[in-house]
Amino acid sequence: MSSIIQKLPDHVANQIAAGEVVQRPASVVKELLENAVDAKATDIKLIIKEAGKTLVQVIDNGMGMGEQDARLCFERHATSKIRQAEDLFDLHTKGFRGEALASIAAIAHVEMKTRQDQQELGTHLVIEGSKFVSQEVAVLPQGTSFAIKNLFFNIPARRNFLKSDVVEHRHIIDEFQRVALAHPQIHFTYYHNGEELFNLPPSNFRQRIVNLFGGKTNEKLVPVKEETEIVSIAGFVTKPEFAKKNRGEQFFFVNDRFIKNGYLHHAIMAAYEGLLKDGSQPGYFLFLQVPPHTIDINIHPTKTEIKFDDEHSLYAILRSAVKHSLGQFNVAPVLDFERDPNLDTPYQYKDAEATVPTIQIDGNFNPFADEKPAKSYAGSGYRKAEPAASWESLYVGLKQDTETIVGEELPEFPSAGFQFESEAVTTSLFEEHEAEPAASKTYQIHKKYIVNPIKSGMVIVDQQRAHQRVLYEQFLTNMTVQQAASQQLLFPLELYFSPNELSLVAELKDALVNTGFVFEAMHADRVVISGLPVNVAESEVSIVLEQLLGDLQDGVPESSFSQNDSIAKSMAKSLAVKTGTYLTEKEQENLVNGLFACKEPNVSPFQKPTFITLRVEDLDKKFAL
């Protein structure tokens, strides 16, 4: 009887492993950049074409590899980072599994060029789908160059699951930023489709953050530094007023490795307690140095999650360090019980007696006298004013003057006065009808709901959801017909964004123009806006765009209708009147009328009910007990 269990061929095992290691082009970028860092490179170039689907190339000036190592590095479980299992708890490098290059070579065309410093010639090696095509000696510069072409060429199902180029490129930028932030001493350069996006010279950590996220980032940063036996913390957090809706600028690095940890993130949020608006997220760029034996890195396939031995102590230290920094730099309110010597009583007044104020009284003052003396306190005495004329003299001759003026203007009438014929009230020519009842009034309850009486009972409208529906249909109509009204600004508005956000704004520019935005210019780190939609205030522009970028950070829909729909929903959510806002009776009526003039008044853009109807019969049942 034949055996049921069989050992898989290497190329099949590599493809299965590739599903764990290589999820998208960004996974390849991460592995190759980390290998270049481990090779002690001081200059690393990343070259991308078509968001990594066509080409991912990393060139470094590191140690390079010999002929034997160049061939062996593509074997499964081949690594230079560890020798025994105990080494897993004393890691000082990035990659250590020994599966990355083997997995990548199984699903792509790989071309590697490498040369060591002391060698005159290097090795040029080509692999296609785990098959060695060629290996030859070549004249090469020192270091290593990996070119990964046609990713997932032999797994079309995996290739079809990739997102659009914009989404995949955004993931690549995220991985590039994580490695570049962790190693500010290395020179990084990033090219996409022949265009240089980042050129990051060696610098300190603060300058690296500014180079990656724009020049305006510098004024947002607050330094954090703490040294303890358990952990050493260094880095920056952002000021509360620059908090955003999304979590894009949040980076934890443990021993120079980027990680994600919800528990430590909660410690940061606890430090900002009372300083942030609801739903806002602070930015932070924090380095944590801990003893390698106190953490376990090998608990997640992507190595972005770490298990700490003493998380509770880390939580307390991190929370106190951030809170102390916010208070030290006058970002958070601090109680100060130290006495200010400037507020003390001067020494010369210590034993002096207080001077009793004196009161001066004019004994000759008579309020009933015709002539009242006016006091002038120039100097120490006073003087009498000239006697004022009697008040009756102000009205002498007024009647005669009035009659004269009337007589001059209307000479045909006698100056004695006028008599007007009173209009007789006659009966109406038409039948008298009972007056029409006044329009039903609306009422606001708890600054959240609007009650509008109707014949069968009453309608209760959720003001926020109703306004979202009204704005959503307005924006969608403007973008469809492309005839949106715009209000010009007296002074153009400059808004600063990171390169990643700017690329997203550039992609959405046409749709935003159709809503009423007017873009005067787009620079490397900012956009200049000279016109706004009529229902967007100047103070709300940054909030609207920030909310829009946060909602679409996972990807912009490819079809124009889906893109317009997403933009209209995001802008309606940002601009709609919020719960807790007082509305006048006129505003309530306009909102209710606008809602029932919509095509779909029953639900908000997010498919939640906008109003309910309460009939009189329902009320009668409540009282029929």
Range 249-253 average pLDDT: 89
Residue 256, classified by CB atoms within 10 Å of its CB into exposed (0-12), middle (13-18) or buried (19+), is middle
User: Do 10-200 and 205-328 come out as alike in CATH topology?
Assistant: no
464: left (phi over 0), alpha (psi -120 to 50) or beta: alpha
Give the burial string for 419-457 (b: 16+ CB within 10 Å, else e).
eeeeeeeeeeeeeeeeeeeeeeebebeeeebbbbeeeee
Q: Please, which pLDDT band fits residue 415 given cuts at 50, 70 and 90? A: very low
Amino acid at 545: L
Instruction: Please state, in angstroms and as integers, the Cα–Cα distance from residue 410 to each residue in 397, 398, 401, 405, 415, following that order.
Output: 20, 18, 14, 9, 9
Q: Please, which pLDDT band fits residue 435 given cuts at 50, 70 and 90? A: very low
pLDDT at residue number 1: 52
- Over residues 455-513, the pLDDT tens digits come to 888 899 999 999 999 999 988 888 887 777 788 888 888 888 877 778 788 888 888 88
Token code pair at residue 569 = 């929903």
Question: CA 556 to CA 167: how far, in whole Å?
Answer: 8
From the centroid of its chain, how far is CA 138?
A: 50
pLDDT beyond 60 at 281: yes
- Over residues 438-470, the pLDDT tens digits come to 455 888 888 899 998 888 888 999 999 999 999
Token code pair at residue 398 = 């007024």
pLDDT at residue number 397: 61
pLDDT at residue number 410: 46
Mean pLDDT of the chain: 80
pLDDT at residue number 553: 67
- Over residues 567-590, the pLDDT tens digits come to 888 888 888 898 888 988 888 889
Residue 286, classified by CB atoms within 10 Å of its CB into exposed (0-12), middle (13-18) or buried (19+), is buried
Instruction: Please state, in angstroms and as integers, the Cα–Cα distance from residue 214 to each residue in 71, 208, 615, following that order.
Output: 42, 10, 58
For 205-328, which CATH class?
A: alpha beta
Question: CA 625 to CA 614: how far, in whole Å?
Answer: 18
pLDDT at residue number 419: 56
Show Cβ contacts of residue 43 under 8 Å, excluding neighbours closer than 6 positions: 60, 61, 186, 187, 189
- Domain at 444-613, CATH homologous superfamily: MutL, C-terminal domain, regulatory subdomain (3.30.1370.100)
- Over residues 217-236, the pLDDT tens digits come to 888 899 999 998 888 999 99
| Domain residue extents for the chain | 10-200, 205-328, 444-613
pLDDT at residue number 387: 52
The DSSP secondary structure of 333-347, one letter per residue, reads: --------GGGSPPG
Question: CA 372 to CA 360: how far, in whole Å?
Answer: 18
pLDDT beyond 70 at 391: no
CB-CB contact of 217 with 181 (8 Å): no
Q: Which of 84-98, 151-165, 328-342, 440-454 has the lowest mean pLDDT?
A: 84-98
| Helix count and strand count (H, E) for the chain | 16, 22
Question: CA 144 to CA 63: how far, in whole Å?
Answer: 8
CATH number of 10-200: 3.30.565.10
Question: CA 58 to CA 148: how far, in whole Å?
Answer: 9
